[in-house]
């Protein structure tokens, strides 16, 4: 099931996305919240009539770095022995169709298309064989990065944590099993031109490793998001650009880069 979060007439709701053609999609409004007991209401609204919101409101976004060998080399780094993580704040999250604000303290904004894992239940110290039970689903992410600031500053709170630095969406796909999620095509385009193309099977540490590693350190809550790293091909974003992340079996996350007003 594809579960979207949206606003309609000033109210926020979750809905199950039905249909195949982009301009014919409808939302079946969900009674309750998707992480707990819920049911479809049968009340349907065309997707074109609502504003999609970030599909979840995470308490935190944990992002893994250097998880694709070719990308690690393109930035001139060694592949780390163990997966390493950093945090993006909840305030950096925006949804599909929202603007990315070019931060005034950077001159080198980069895109990083990534598969995002959405956690479905509170968990800690998740054993490998239970990882599938704590995952709610998957969505597309753009780990937008002020690359010049990242190079200058040891901690990446500013470089990767500014407002709008974490587009997520368009919705959460809940029907992918682990084997499939670990083998999806990921493509990123800027103004329709392909910049990144990879497969999640190229990840050095698959989804299971990432959930085990981070849950050893911290409690994960329903709606928390884990970014799994980006394939090669990262590059600049300029004001006016439209950037789109498409992941096979999930959908397309599209955002425009604007000057912060
Ligand atoms: Zn990244």
Domains of the chain: 2-52 (2.30.30.370), 61-259 (3.90.850.10)
| Average pLDDT of span 225-243 | 97
Between CA 202 and CA 25 the distance in angstroms is 32
Distance, CA 73 to ligand 1 centroid (Å)? Answer: 14
Distance, CA 50 to ligand 1 centroid (Å)? Answer: 30
pLDDT at 185: 98
Distance, CA 108 to ligand 1 centroid (Å)? Answer: 15
Distance, CA 23 to ligand 1 centroid (Å)? Answer: 31
Query: pLDDT class for 260, splitting at 50, 70, 90?
Result: confident
Distance, CA 63 to ligand 1 centroid (Å)? Answer: 6
| Average pLDDT of span 37-59 | 95
The pTM score is 0.97
Of the given ranges (34-43, 111-120, 159-168, 177-186), which has the lowest mean pLDDT?
Answer: 34-43
pLDDT at 81: 84
pLDDT at 79: 85
Distance, CA 18 to ligand 1 centroid (Å)? Answer: 31
* Residue 130 structure tokens: 């239970």
Q: Which tops the pLDDT comparison, 110 or 80? A: 110
Distance, CA 32 to ligand 1 centroid (Å)? Answer: 33
CB 3 within 8 A of CB 120: no
| Average pLDDT of span 78-105 | 95
Of the given ranges (16-25, 94-103, 237-246), which has the lowest mean pLDDT?
Answer: 16-25
pLDDT for residue 261 is more than 90: no
Distance, CA 250 to ligand 1 centroid (Å)? Answer: 19
* Residue 203 structure tokens: 């990840």
CB 27 within 8 A of CB 33: no
pLDDT for residue 9 is more than 90: no
Query: pLDDT class for 22, splitting at 50, 70, 90?
Result: confident
pLDDT at 93: 98
Distance, CA 52 to ligand 1 centroid (Å)? Answer: 23
| Average pLDDT of span 147-157 | 97
Between CA 216 and CA 211 the distance in angstroms is 8
């Amino acid at each position: 099931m594809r579960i979207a979060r949206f606003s309609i007439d000033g109210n926020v709701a979750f809905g199950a996305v039905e249909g195949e053609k982009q301009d014919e999609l409808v939302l079946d409004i969900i009674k309750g919240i998707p992480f707990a007991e819920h049911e479809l209401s049968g009340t349907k609204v065309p997707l074109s009539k609502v504003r999609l919101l970030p599909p979840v409101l995470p308490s935190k976004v944990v992002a893994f770095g250097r998880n694709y060998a070719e990308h690690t080399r393109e930035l001139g780094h060694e592949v780390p022995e163990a997966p390493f993580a950093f945090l993006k704040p909840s305030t950096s999250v925006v949804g599909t169709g929202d603007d990315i604000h070019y931060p005034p303290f950077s001159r080198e904004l980069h895109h990083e298309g990534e598969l995002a894992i959405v956690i479905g239940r509170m968990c800690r110290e998740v054993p490998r064989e239970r990882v599938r039970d704590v995952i709610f689903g998957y969505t597309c992410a753009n780990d937008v990065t002020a690359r010049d600031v990242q190079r200058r500053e040891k901690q990446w709170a500013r470089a990767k944590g500014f407002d709008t630095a974490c587009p997520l969406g368009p919705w959460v796909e809940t029907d992918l099993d682990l084997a499939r999620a670990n083998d999806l095509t990921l493509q990123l385009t800027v103004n329709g031109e392909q910049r990144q193309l990879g497969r999640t099977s190229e990840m050095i540490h698959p989804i299971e490793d990432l959930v085990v590693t981070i849950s050893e350190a911290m409690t994960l809550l329903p709606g928390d998001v884990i970014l799994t790293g980006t394939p090669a091909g990262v590059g600049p974003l300029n004001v006016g650009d439209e950037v789109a992340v498409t992941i096979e079996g999930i959908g397309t996350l599209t955002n425009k880069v604007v000057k912060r007003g």
